[in-house]
Each structure stands twice: as C-alpha cells, then as structure tokens.
Amino acid sequence: MFSSLRSRLWLSYALLIVTALGVVATFLFVYLVRNPLLYRQTTERLQAVQSIVMERENVPENQPISVAAQKAARTFDVRVLIFSQDKQLMLDTADKEASLPFPEKKALQRKNPIMRDGNGGVWLYSIEQLPDKTYLVVAAPRPRLSIVNIIADEFLSPFLRGGLIALLLSLVLAFLFARWIADPLQKVVIAARGMPSAEIKPVEPQGPHEVQELTRAFNSMIVRTQASQKSQRDFVANVSHELKTPLTSVQGFAQAILDGTADTEQTRQQAAQVIFNESGRMHRMVLDLLDLARLDAGTADITMSPVNVPALLNAIREKFMPQSQKAGVVVTVDVAANLPALIADGDRLAQVFTNLVDNALKFTPEGGAVLLSASVENGEMHISVTDTGAGIPDESQAHIFDRFYQADPSRKGGEKHGAGLGLAIAHDIVQAHGGKINVRSRLGEGTSFDVFLPLMGK
C-alpha cells in the first residue's frame, strides 16, 4: 500500500504531524490539570478583591483597613488576612476556621499559588505588601475538580476542534509536499524507462534543490548516452564503409581467379597483388581498432620509462627518409639543448609521431618541409610536428581527432590516406600519458600539431 515514494513521504509527514499534535496535547493536558480554568478564575477573583481592599473605596479614611477587609470577605465570600512586617497574623476574617500560615514564596511557584491550613485544607491565595510594610492576603478554598471534568469541559472540546482542523490542514500540506518532491522524481523514472531511445527529451528540473540536481545529472546522462549511441552507430557505419571497398576488391579478384577470368600469369599476378594489398589494409585497420578499444577501456599496454626525445625524433626522421625523398619534402629535427628525459612509453610515442609525420608528408606538396621540434615549456615537454602543406579548414579542425574523420572528403577510402584513425589513436595515446594534443592550421600556410606531455609522467 505504501510502496511508492509519494505515499511513504505522505505517511512520514502524517506520523510526524500526529506525533507533534500528541506532544502538544500532552503538555496542554498537564497544564490544564495543574491550572484548570476554575482555579484561574478563582485566582483572578482573589486578585480583584485584593485590589478593592487596597483601594478601600467607600470607606472613610479614618477607618482602618480591617473594615474594608471584613466587608470584602462578606461580600465576595473570601478570607482576608493581614500579616505584620515580621509575618505575624494581625487579622483573619475567618478566625474560627483552621489557621492559615504566612505564605512563603517557593522556588517553583505555581501559576495559581496554594497554601494549606492547619487541617490540611488547600487554599488559593493572592498576596501583596501594603505601603505600611504589612502584608494583605486574600484566600479562598481551592475548588474540587475531577480529571473527567477537566477533560470534558476544558480539554476535549477545544482540542478536538483545533486539533482536527490542524490535522486536516497538515495532511493536505503533507500531500502537497510529497507531490512536490515525488512528482519530479516520477518524471525522471518515466524518462529512464524510455532509455536508450534517441527520442527521450531532457526532464525539466523541478522540486527541491537536491531533486533538481538529480534531474540535471540525469539530463546530462541522457545527452552523454545519446551521444555515445550516435558515436556507436557512426562507428559501425564507418567501419562497414571502410571494409566494404577492400572486401569488394578481394571478393572480385578472388572470383576472377576462381572462374578463370584471370587466365594469364600477368592477370593472376595482378589479382593476387590486389588481394594482398587490400587484406593488408584491412589488417592494419583491425589493429588500429584494437588499439582504440584498448585505449578506451584503459587496458592498453603503457610501459613508462625514460625516453630520449631527440633520439626518438631523429629515428622517426630516418624512418621516413625514403618516403620524404620520393615526395620531395625535407624532414628536419630541431630540439632544445639539454633536453631532459621524458617518462613515457617510447613505443607508443613513436606511434604518435609516426602518425603525425606520415599525415604531414601525405598533405605536403613537393618542395615543402616538415619540422619536428621539442622544448620544455611550463614544466611540460612540448613536441610539435609542423608542415608547409595546404592547411586544414577552420570547420574541420574541431573534428580532426574524431574517428574516421577526414578533412578532405574527396580523399576518403584511398589506400594512401587510410581510414582516418591515425589522429584519433594519437589523441588517445597522448591522453593516456596525461598530456594533450592540439592543432593549429591556416589554409595555404600549413599545419602544426602540438603535443604537451608532463615531464614526470602521468
């Protein structure tokens, strides 16, 4: 019955309200038992009589206060006593009854003070010191009341009226508060049940601050999830597209060999060469995808050790010497003096700069140059690969590290230019080292890839 959050919140508020009303009722009942209405009325009557006696209205000034006291005692049916400065009894209008002592003030004085006579009878009283330092005491027997009368006359009726109204209003407010908290959460639950649909819209933040924060976090998760789904769909589509061309070539030339269309040694040799090249291209793509998967999962084999950056960059220049000479592009290395060792994975960094240099050579025309430089800036190793190629359009620079993204769509799919994974792999490797990689480029002037790596490792 109370399985939902809204009903449990309402029940919690209801129990809290009932408990609060119970505590109030208990204190009110104790107060009424100790100070019932009839006691309060009697005390107020005694104080009024005391004021009358002290004012001594309609009494000649030459008559003593005792005359006013006797008259008030008869008129109002009370007992008037006068005590001297040293608390000795001077007058008692009911001297035939049990004597009343001087009322001593107690540490915990009741709202309606009482005193006892010589026979144990209980009296309510009011005391006041007169100008002549004597004490005027007005007393009356404490009325006899039963608990039943107090409950019936003073407690039950007002408490039931006020308590019932307060309870009903509180329960309505509790219901509204429960809805205020639970309804936004219910919207989040409904949206969560619709995941992972691309049609799910963000939930409007409502309710308490904490619920709004939860809603914003959920909305952020929706955006990330939908972006991840889109990325996954694009990834599958791109892989399928990149594999389709080489697979078609392999299948076509294999079929030519099988059905005898390639009937000469030259054509069979050509078919075998195409199959070999395309299968090698697919193999490299699979290795790149495995690298990306391991980097994403954090399981890539990254072995940190001191790396000699000048030696690394010179080795890469030597590696690309035949390709650069064939393309008519000069590759140079410029490193700062006394460059410290870098704590990193040398093989992975070689993979990064191999991709960057290979990319630079592909898009640098004959007569151009590629520069590999290294220096220390602000406690980081700054290594850059700069070319004098055609440059990258501004709208493409924001996506240059996306997987399968190629700035020039006309070059997609060619063996020379790969599948667009090299820069994505370089980006992930640099991030795995705790560094960052940026691109700077202007059309017609060239491109520079800047890698920043912490000197002490990740």
292 with 309, same domain: the answer is no
d(CA 96, CA 365) in angstroms, rounded, equals 133
Supply the pLDDT for residue 415: 38
Query: Amino acid identity of 456?
Result: M
439 with 322, same domain: the answer is yes
- Of 127, 144, 161, the residue at which a domain comes to its end is 144
340 with 282, same domain: the answer is no
Q: Would residue 202 count as lying in a domain? A: no
Q: Which domain holds residue 82?
A: 37-144
With 0-12 / 13-18 / 19 or more C-beta atoms within 10 angstroms meaning exposed / middle / buried, residue 266 is exposed
Supply the pLDDT for residue 361: 92
Q: Would residue 24 count as lying in a domain? A: no
256 with 280, same domain: the answer is yes
| pTM of the full structure | 0.51
377 with 330, same domain: the answer is yes
Beta bridge partners of 138: 80, 126
400 with 443, same domain: the answer is yes
The chain-wide mean pLDDT, for the chain, equals 80
Residue 182, token pair as written in the block: 């639970």
How many CB atoms sit inside 10 A of residue 81's CB? 25
Cis, peptide link before residue 246, omega less than 30° from 0: no
Maximum CA extent, the chain? 157
Task: Report the domain count for the chain.
Answer: 3
Q: Would residue 165 count as lying in a domain? A: no
Q: Would residue 29 count as lying in a domain? A: no
449 with 324, same domain: the answer is yes
What is the distance between the terminal CA atoms of the chain, rounded to a whole angstrom?
55
Distances (CA, A) of 42 to 38, 103, 114, 429: 6, 17, 12, 93
Supply the pLDDT for residue 387: 94
b or e along 233-255 (b: 16 or more beta carbons within 10 Å of the residue's beta carbon)? Answer: eeeeebbeebbebbeebbeebee
Closest CA to 246 of 278, 286, 290: 278
How many CB atoms sit inside 10 A of residue 205's CB? 17
371 pLDDT above the threshold of 80: yes
Side-chain-side CA neighbours of residue 143 (13 Å): 18
Q: Work out the angle at residue 338's Cα, subtended by the Cα atoms of residues 334 and 339, and round it to the nearest 5 degrees.
A: 65
Beta bridge partners of 417: none
Share of the chain above pLDDT 70, in %: 81
Residue 60, token pair as written in the block: 């000649």
Q: How confident is the model at residue 356 (pLDDT cuts 50, 70, 90)?
A: very high
Closest CA to 27 of 155, 169, 114: 155
Supply the pLDDT for residue 375: 93
239 with 313, same domain: the answer is no
- Name the residue with higher pLDDT: 113 or 333: 333
Q: Would residue 405 count as lying in a domain? A: yes
The pLDDT tens digits of the residues spanning 181-201 come to 777 777 777 777 777 666 677
Give me the CATH number covering residue 281: 1.10.287.130
Q: Number of H helices and number of E strands within the chain?
A: 12, 12
Calculate mean pLDDT across residues 355-364: 91
Q: Would residue 21 count as lying in a domain? A: no
d(CA 13, CA 344) in angstroms, rounded, equals 60
Say which residues have a Cβ less than 8 Å from residue 142's Cβ, sequence separation at least 6.
Answer: 39, 42, 114, 122, 123, 124
Calculate mean pLDDT across residues 53-58: 66
d(CA 292, CA 287) in angstroms, rounded, equals 9
Q: Would residue 266 count as lying in a domain? A: yes
282 with 318, same domain: the answer is no
- Of 280, 297, 314, the residue at which a domain comes to its end is 297
147 pLDDT above the threshold of 70: no
Supply the pLDDT for residue 338: 86
d(CA 257, CA 270) in angstroms, rounded, equals 10
Give me the CATH number covering residue 335: 3.30.565.10
150 pLDDT above the threshold of 90: no
Q: How confident is the model at residue 33 (pLDDT cuts 50, 70, 90)?
A: low
Q: How confident is the model at residue 107 (pLDDT cuts 50, 70, 90)?
A: low
d(CA 55, CA 67) in angstroms, rounded, equals 12
The pLDDT tens digits of the residues spanning 401-446 come to 877 766 554 444 333 444 567 888 889 899 888 999 999 998 888 9
Share of the chain above pLDDT 90, in %: 21
226 with 262, same domain: the answer is yes
- Name the residue with higher pLDDT: 159 or 204: 204
DSSP assignments along 154-193, one per residue: IIHHHHHHHHHHHHHHHHHHHHHHHHHHHHHHHHHHHHHH
| Chain-centre distance for alpha carbon 443 | 45
234 with 367, same domain: the answer is no
313 with 409, same domain: the answer is yes
308 pLDDT above the threshold of 90: yes
Calculate mean pLDDT across residues 93-111: 78
Give me the CATH number covering residue 135: 3.30.450
- Of 270, 297, 324, the residue at which a domain comes to its end is 297
d(CA 406, CA 419) in angstroms, rounded, equals 8
Q: Would residue 333 count as lying in a domain? A: yes
Supply the pLDDT for residue 445: 87
Closest CA to 160 of 38, 33, 21: 21
Beta bridge partners of 382: 375, 452
Say which residues have a Cβ less than 8 Å from residue 348's Cβ, sequence separation at least 6.
Answer: 300, 302, 429, 432, 433
